[in-house]
Structure 1
């Protein structure tokens, strides 16, 4: 039994080591081979994460108020709830994982910007994917879904391009963001069903 436990621990550590090696290798390919002419563009994309994520539900809610449309206001609240949930989960995971930024561990990584928080997961990415997913669920049209996820993916890529996140940070951020939107949707649907059993959709 003790040999099996030792082998399991060894295998786990070996897997983590390989994953870390693949993580930093991919980051180096993205960061060290980047087109420096795009730096200002990438900084702009990364800086758009929070303004767009926060502004989207506010604008939609304002439209709902102006048009006196309760359905539009419900969609805005749902998008805002998804963002709040993703932010809470991301901050909680950061405080638990306490992973240092890649440029702090690997001096060869060229960070274009500085960050004060921990690395895992990427909060910028989680916010972007939360907004993209919840917006796409509220307005399931290709002309909403395509640009939303294109923007969210660009935000995630920009975090690696700028050298402030590992690929696994970005991947985890995307999962947290999208997962938060689905969780909020299911929770709202369950609450609405309890209040009005005949309702089939969140927005009806």
Structure 2
């Protein structure tokens, strides 16, 4: 078989996997983990059950792969967005708002479904825990870079972690009700606190 024949097949396989992963996140957000099934996902993606099972034999395989894939893509988008935030006055507020938006995305909602389900599912926890640790480390690194934090200074690492804990908590609240104005006020006040704390050192 020639390479010109293999390449379109590889492209089709990648496209099919992409549809499956994106459909999985959509169904997770709409129906939660317990309401997500491989049948629903394959129907949403327009992929045969046989093809879906070939690539992802179990529901856990599918949902973990989907959240990992889209979390990585979302992380790349976060890095790109943070890179465009201008230096100077107002930077901290802009960075904190970008982080706030990141943790209210559909991917965050899908990941949250996995975290809750993993609490009582040892197999799922074994797959989700390393993913969450990796994602957490990357978010921490991006925040340190964006805020220009020197983690050698006492207390600065804790300020970064408090920032991430805050935006995650607000993201969790946003899954229940849209409280954008309140969230913005809180984020802006925290940004002012960060400026005062980091600028005084």
Please report the TM-score for the alignment, with normalisation by the length of structure 2. Answer: 0.31
Q: Output the TM-score relative to the length of structure 1.
A: 0.31
Which structure has more RCO (C-alpha within 8 Å, separation ≥ 6)?
Answer: 1
